[in-house]
Amino acid sequence: SQQGEEDPQALSIQEGENATMNCSYKTSINNLQWYRQNSGRGLVHLILIRSNEREKHSGRLRVTLDTSKKSSSLLITASRAADTASYFCATPAVSGGYNKLIFGAGTRLAVHP
Amino acid sequence: DAGVIQSPRHEVTEMGQEVTLRCKPISGHNSLFWYRQTMMRGLELLIYFNNNVPIDDSGMPEDRFSAKMPNASFSTLKIQPSEPRDSAVYFCASSPRTSPYNEQFFGPGTRLTVL
């Protein structure tokens, strides 16, 4: 089963509003990453938060991590139409002594002008 | 750097035909990942390589799928014979090291349609 699961599955907002997406995971992690996927494109890394961090900012992005609840949230402030995309959380998993990422199902965000 | 390069970008083929997808990772990256994305199943990791060696192929759906990485700058994913249920977008991604803190860099994907 997937390690990370996003909530909600879809989100529709107006330009200027804030968008919040949540991710829950099942096992202990040392970091959690968020990726964005525009329609018809590959995923693009947005931000990484380590397990010893509670909050991290990057431009209009704010990520929180609560390891006790095994959850993370991605907040996009003052959203723009260009933020319309799918957003995925990803957590590392060890396999064969190496690290791979397990992606959640994603949140589809639509920002309307 | 041009980023991860995948070819072809689109492939339409008939059931039973062999399909070969190609990937050139970012120079200097030593980990390479093949993913498949569908509406029903989301993003699935098929196989990944470290220093050209397959590490985990547990996501490869069946024997019809095979992947190779003959050198650090090239990998292929082959489906033989192809079936309509293989229709999906296939992504290749690379990462600079095996650290869990490294991000993955994705290619643009190959959209495969099997008729």
Residues on chain B touching A2 (C-beta within 8 angstroms): 42
Task: Kindly state whether B101 is in contact with chain A, defined as any CB-CB distance less than 8 angstroms.
Answer: yes
CB A84 within 8 Å of CB A109: yes
Q: Average pLDDT in the A33-54 region?
A: 96
Per-residue pLDDT tens digits for B90-104: 999 999 876 778 899
Rg (CA), chain A: 14
Q: Hey, what's the torsion of the CAs at B85, B92, A70, A78, to 10 degrees?
A: -100
CB A61 within 8 Å of CB A44: no
Task: Work out the pLDDT band at A1, boundaries 50, 70, 90.
Answer: very low
Tokens of B37: 């994305």
From the list A30, A33, A98, the residue facing B55 with the nearest CB is A98
Alpha-carbon distance values, B72 to A43, A71, B31, B94, B113 (Å):
22, 36, 9, 11, 28
**Contact criterion met (CB < 8 Å) for A99 and B108:** no
